[in-house]
Amino acid sequence: MKRRAFLQLLGSGSLALGSVGRLLAANSGPGLHHWAWTRVLEDEKRSVWQRRFADFREAGVSSLLLGGATEEACRLAAAEGLQVHAWTWTMCRGGAELLTNHPQWFVVNRNGVSASDNPPYVPYYHFLCPSRPEVRQYLIEEFSRIAAAEGLTGVHLDYIRYPDVILPRALWEKYGLVQNEELPAFDYCYCEACRDQFKSLAGQDIEDIADPTQDESWRHYRWNSITTLVNQLSKTIRDQNKMITAAVFPSPTIARRLVRQDWSKWNLDAVLPMVYQNFYEEDIAWIKASVQEGVQSLPAGRPLYAGLFLSSFKDEGKFEQAVVAALEGGARGISLFGGVRHLKS
C-alpha cells in the first residue's frame, strides 16, 4: 500500500486501534512482524475475545503477548491466525501464598526493609529476590507449567528485573522524588542471601563498602543475578519447545541503570524494549537512537521489536513517525501497548 493510500485510510479521527493498525499494516514487509500486549479475562464472553483477536489481526498484528493465555484463548487466537505468547509477570508477584509463607524470598533494600510488607512506590511492588535458589526453583516450576500449555508459541517475561532504583524521569514528580542518585529506599537487594553470595564471590562484605552505589562488582553481581535466572528460565521454556521473549527497559544503558537488566546477555528468541519516549521526556528521535543501541548490543540476527505506548501519541502523524523511527533504528517490527481501550468490542 502506498503512503498516500494508508494516510487516507486513517482519516482525521482519534488514534483508534483500527487506524493505528492500518498504519502498521502499511509499514509491514518481508521480515517484519508486529505484536501487541493485551489480555483476556475469564469472565468475558468468548465473542469479545474473538472480536479482540480479529481486530488485532486486521491491524496487522501477528503475535499477541497475552495475559490470561489459556488453551482456549490460544485456540480462538489461532483461528484468527495469531500466535500467542503467555504474558507473565516474573519477579513482581505478590499473592497471599508467597507473602505469607515465604516473606524471606522478597527483596530487601539498603535500609533493611523488605518488599514483602513494605513495597516501594506502589502497593503491588512485591519483588522476589533473583539470587535465592529457592526463588529460582519456584520460578522454574512456574514457567515450566506455563510453557506446557498447548497452543502457545512462546512465553513472554515481564517485570523481569529489580524494582526501579531510579524511576523514568517523567515519574519523579508523581512520586515526589528526585533520583539523581541511587537512594537507599529503592536500592535492592541487600537480603542475607545476596550479602552472603556477594561476599563469597567478591571477597568483601557489602556492608564494608563505603558507597555501594559506586561499586562495580556489586553492580555486576546484580546484573548477573537476573541474567542467570533468565537463562535458566530460557532453558525451561525451550525444553517445552516454546519461544522465550521479554519486555525490557528501552536501551541497554537505561535498563542497566534503572532496573539492573543487562538484557543483551539474555538467551532470548526476541527482545521487546518498551521505548516509551514520554516516560523519559524524550522525542521521536530518541526512539530511533534507543532501538539502534539495542540492536547493536544484541547477538547478530536476534530480533528486537520496539514497544510503543499508544496513548503517548496525540495523532496518527506522530505515531507514524515513531513507527518509522523504530524501523529505521533496526527494529524488526512494533509492539503495541495501551490500545485495548480503543478496541471496538
Q: How far is the CB of 108 from Zn ion (least distance, A)?
A: 6
Q: Are strands 35-39 and 306-309 parallel, antiparallel or unpaired?
A: unpaired
Q: Pick the closer one to Zn ion by CB: 194 or 295.
A: 194
Q: Pick the closer one to Zn ion by CB: 115 or 194.
A: 194
Q: Tell me, what DSSP letter sits at residue 304?
A: B
Q: How far is the CB of 259 from Zn ion (least distance, A)?
A: 15
Q: Pick the closer one to Zn ion by CB: 131 or 335.
A: 131
Give the 3-state secondary structure of 229-287.
HHHHHHHHHHHCCCEEEEEECCCHHHHHHHHCCCHHHCCCCEEEEECCHHHHCCCHHHH
Q: How far is the CB of 196 from Zn ion (least distance, A)?
A: 9
Q: Pick the closer one to Zn ion by CB: 66 or 129.
A: 129
Beta bridge partners of 285: none
Cross-sheet strand order for the sheet of 35-39: 270-273, 243-248, 154-158, 83-89, 63-67, 35-39, 334-337, 306-309
Nearest alpha carbon to residue 66 among 155, 161, 159:
155
Q: How far is the CB of 95 from Zn ion (least distance, A)?
A: 19
Q: Pick the closer one to Zn ion by CB: 132 or 342.
A: 132
Radius of gyration, CA atoms only, the chain: 20
Q: Are strands 63-67 and 83-89 parallel, antiparallel or unpaired?
A: parallel
Q: Determine the Cα–Cα distance for residues 87 and 68; give it in Å rounded to an integer.
A: 8
Which residue is it, cell 498447548? 150
Q: How far is the CB of 162 from Zn ion (least distance, A)?
A: 9
Q: How far is the CB of 104 from Zn ion (least distance, A)?
A: 9
Measure Cα distances from 92 to 125, 127, 172 in Å.
6, 4, 21
Q: Pick the closer one to Zn ion by CB: 51 or 195.
A: 195
Q: Pick the closer one to Zn ion by CB: 36 or 129.
A: 129
- Quick one: CA torsion of 196, 200, 202, 208, rounded to 10 degrees? 50
Q: Pick the closer one to Zn ion by CB: 131 or 245.
A: 131
Q: How far is the CB of 140 from Zn ion (least distance, A)?
A: 17
Cell numbers for 228, please give them. 542467570
Backbone angles phi, psi at 319, to 5 degrees: -65, -40
Measure Cα distances from 233 to 32, 134, 158, 239, 260 in Å.
27, 14, 13, 10, 18
Q: How far is the CB of 122 from Zn ion (least distance, A)?
A: 20
In the complex, which residues of this chain contact Zn ion (CB under 5 A)?
Answer: 129, 131, 189, 191, 194
Side-chain half-sphere CA neighbours of 318 within 13 A: 15
